[in-house]
Amino acid sequence: MKREFFSLIKRWLIIIIFILLPFSYLGRKIFLLVNAYHTEKTLKKNIIILEAENELLKKRIDDYKKGTLIESKARDDLGMIKKGEKIYIIKK
């Protein structure tokens, strides 16, 4: 009786081990797959943001090369004028 009980427990333990072992392996793989998916999503968002920043910087570089941005900065921030221009100051 005792021997049959231990034999039964032994069989069930072997069955449980053979069932749980693949689940533990697959569970880890599924976890890694989900983690990779979230990482990919985050990286794609970062790429979109960086591409938008890159376009903005390219436009600013073009403005600096043309000189329009430098001229507007000099006029607005520093109050500079071109030769021959007249300044009219309007008091409020």
pLDDT at residue 22, rounded to an integer: 80
Distance CA 72, CA 89 (A): 18
Q: Who contacts 81 (Cβ-Cβ below 8 Å, separation ≥6)?
A: 75, 87
* Whether this model's pTM surpasses 0.85: no
Provide the pLDDT for residue 88: 77
Q: How far is CA 22 from CA 19, 34, 71, in A?
A: 6, 18, 70
Mean pLDDT across the chain, nearest whole number?
87
Average pLDDT rounded to a whole number, residues 26-43:
92
In three-state secondary structure terms, 2 is helix
Confidence of residue 46 (pLDDT cuts 50, 70, 90): very high
The stretch 17-32 carries a mean pLDDT of 83
